């Protein structure tokens, strides 16, 4: 298995391995799989995505006694899976270093325990946030330590509801394969609910002239080139920083906002009372918080901004959107509020859109999924078509039906990606959401699977078993009147 370069397997210390193994020993063996086997069904749960979320879910399901779980990932191998060694370009994670994560409450499996075993307690204390490369190495170690099998080179093409389970149409190493499962967890990242948001002004250009931050970008090819970055969130500043570090002649970043300064939005991340109980809030409250966040936008961390502004050839355009763009002599000619500019390449750090109908795997039933626009009517002036397109999820992040009774299978698809933003608040699908959401989703899956086979469980619970002992064990101690008289 491949590992990020900064932490080869050979550097793993005996002490850390002992600590992790001791943790697993102390929690006891994994429960046996209690879910009855059903004819024609390959898996009880299929997890789509083998990154940090898929690893955590697989471990949590195993500890819940739910077997026959498969984890699939379209990447060809671990080195190219997930975002941390591919599309993520930050130097440090955005989240605080001490936030509970995929260790699921087991300190011996935490990033802190892993890092301190390698670098010591003082080195961990000196960290302000977790370096991205170290986080990737930790996740690789965690997956191996927990023995989570991920089926790489396995891409989900289509979900087909069938009887009381799903048929998964997969592409496995280039070949079409069909497997079946009772439950699905979509742990497929930021684009899993729709796709990359490409501004219309860029979409009309040749695709060789631009890329979204979610795509592979050959930054070495931008050496000596003039680069435009559209967007002002963290991914945009990260891309600008990498382009400058790669030798771009100049980088111009265009922001729709008049300021990049942090704006006052609800601090759900550090407010457990709000975050833990978010789903129970009235729809009106949740809608307004979603609007508030969208209006404020995502603010990049200080180090992402510092990374770019230290270069004299970095230029920041505030409150400046592109009005038009065209190609001329193989270059981009962009008309902006600040004037006309010529670029060799443009990068869109413009986030993602949400629309289940845009996902091929959901295409057969996407119209049956309830959206926020179906369940909530905003007040005048608070309409938002983009937020209205988000699915209206249930308490365990399950899809709900637009028309009750017409697509009952939707409750068996659980969504663990930013698609849950309006229903469950920020963040969904990243480290900060593990503590709250993974136990809730696993508990619902356990309940659903148990009650679906209640007759079988009833027979198992009430089946007669051989007693551990007979009355001879305590016969000599039974009190009787004749015994008392004899004494």
The per-residue pLDDT of the chain, averaged, comes to 92
CATH number, domain 9-189+429-452, options 3.20.130.10, 3.40.960.10, 3.50.50.60, 3.90.226.10: 3.50.50.60
The residues near 196 (Cβ < 8 Å, ≥ 6 apart) are 212, 214, 215, 348, 350, 352, 353
Task: Estimate to the nearest angstrom the gap between the alpha carbon of 152 and the chain centroid.
Answer: 17
CB distance 263 to 255 below 8 Å: no
Choose between 350 and 480: higher pLDDT.
350
* Verdict on whether the full-model pTM lies above 0.75: yes
pLDDT surpasses 80 at 303: yes
Task: Give 4's pLDDT tier (boundaries 50, 70, 90).
Answer: very low
* The pLDDT value given to residue 432: 87
Residues in the chain: 487
**Three-class SS of residue 185?**
strand
Query: Quick one: average pLDDT of 106-125?
Result: 95
pLDDT, one tens digit per residue, over 161-173 is 999 999 999 999 8
* The pLDDT value given to residue 226: 98
For residues 157-178, one letter each, b for 16 or more C-beta atoms within 10 angstroms of the residue's C-beta and e for the rest, the string is ebbebeeebbbbbbeeeeeeee
Residue 93 tokens read as 């994670």
pLDDT, one tens digit per residue, over 282-291 is 999 999 999 9
Largest Cα–Cα distance of the chain, in whole Å?
116
* The pLDDT value given to residue 267: 57
One fold for both 9-189+429-452 and 198-262+299-350? yes
The residues spanned by each domain of the chain are 9-189+429-452, 198-262+299-350
* The pLDDT value given to residue 361: 97
Residue 33 tokens read as 């799989």
* The pLDDT value given to residue 19: 85
Within 10 A of 386 (CB to CB), how many other CB atoms are there? Answer: 14
Query: Quick one: average pLDDT of 224-248?
Result: 97
Task: Give 227's pLDDT tier (boundaries 50, 70, 90).
Answer: very high
Name the helix (H) or strand (E) containing 215: none
* The pLDDT value given to residue 95: 85
Choose between 5 and 83: higher pLDDT.
83
What is 198-262+299-350's CATH superfamily? FAD/NAD(P)-binding domain (3.50.50.60)
Residue 9 tokens read as 């397997």
Residue 295 tokens read as 């209006």
DSSP string, 108-171: GGSHHHHHHHHH-HHHHHH-SEEEHHHHHHHHHHHHHHTT---BTTEEEEEEEEETTEEEEEEE
CA distances from 367 to 158, 358, 363, 392, 409 (A): 15, 11, 8, 13, 13
- Measured torsion, CA atoms of residues 239, 243, 244, 245, in degrees rounded to the nearest 10: 100
Choose between 426 and 399: higher pLDDT.
399
Residues 16-21: contacts with CB under 8 Å, at least 24 apart = 16/113, 16/114, 16/117, 16/118, 17/145, 19/108, 19/113, 19/117, 20/108, 20/109, 20/113, 20/114, 20/145
């Amino acid at each position: 298995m491949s590992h990020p370069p900064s932490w080869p397997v050979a550097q793993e210390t005996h002490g850390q391995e002992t600590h992790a193994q001791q943790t697993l020993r102390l929690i006891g063996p994994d429960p046996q799989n209690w879910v009855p086997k059903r004819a024609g069904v390959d898996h009880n749960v299929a997890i789509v995505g083998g990154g940090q979320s898929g690893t955590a879910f697989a471990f949590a399901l195993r500890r819940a006694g739910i077997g026959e779980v498969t984890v699939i990932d379209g990447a060809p191998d671990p080195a190219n899976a997930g975002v941390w060694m591919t599309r993520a370009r930050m130097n440090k994670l955005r989240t605080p270093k001490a936030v509970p994560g995929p260790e699921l409450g087991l300190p011996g499996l935490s990033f802190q325990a892993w890092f301190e075993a390698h670098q010591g307690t003082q080195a961990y204390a000196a960290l302000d946030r977790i370096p991205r490369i170290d986080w990737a190495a930790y996740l690789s170690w965690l997956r191996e330590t927990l023995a989570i099998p991920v089926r790489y080179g396995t891409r989900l093409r289509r979900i087909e509801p069938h009887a009381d389970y799903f048929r998964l149409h997969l592409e496995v190493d280039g070949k079409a394969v069909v497997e079946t499962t009772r439950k699905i967890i979509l742990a497929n990242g930021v684009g899993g609910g729709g796709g990359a948001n490409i501004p219309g002004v860029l979409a009309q250009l040749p695709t060789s002239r631009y890329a979204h931050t979610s795509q592979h970008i050959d930054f070495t090819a931008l050496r000596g080139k003039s680069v435009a970055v559209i967007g002002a969130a963290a991914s945009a500043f990260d891309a600008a920083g990498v382009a400058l570090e790669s030798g771009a002649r100049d980088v111009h970043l265009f922001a729709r906002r008049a300021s990049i300064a942090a704006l006052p939005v609800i601090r759900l991340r550090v407010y457990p009372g709000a975050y833990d109980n978010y789903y129970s809030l009235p729809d009106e409250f949740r809608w307004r918080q979603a609007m508030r966040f969208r209006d404020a936008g995502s603010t990049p961390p200080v180090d992402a901004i510092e990374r770019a502004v230290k270069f004299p050839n970095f230029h920041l355009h505030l409150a400046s959107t592109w009005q038009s763009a065209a190609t001329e002599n193989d270059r981009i000619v962009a008309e902006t509020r600040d004037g006309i500019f010529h670029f060799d390449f443009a990068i869109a750090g413009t986030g993602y859109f949400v629309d289940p109908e845009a996902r091929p795997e959901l295409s057969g039933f996407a119209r049956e999924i309830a959206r926020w626009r179906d369940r909530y009517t905003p007040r005048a002036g608070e309409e938002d078509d983009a937020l209205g397109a988000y699915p209206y999820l249930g308490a365990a992040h399950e899809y709900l039906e637009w028309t009750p009774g017409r697509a009952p299978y939707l409750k068996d698809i659980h969504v663990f990606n930013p698609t849950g933003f309006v229903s469950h608040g920020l963040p969904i699908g990243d480290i900060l959401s593990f503590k709250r959401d993974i136990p809730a989703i696993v508990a619902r899956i356990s309940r659903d699977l148990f009650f679906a086979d209640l007759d079988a469980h009833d027979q198992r619970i009430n089946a007669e078993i051989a007693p551990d002992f007979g009355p001879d064990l305590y016969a000599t101690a039974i009190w009787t009147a004749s015994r008392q008289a004899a004494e």
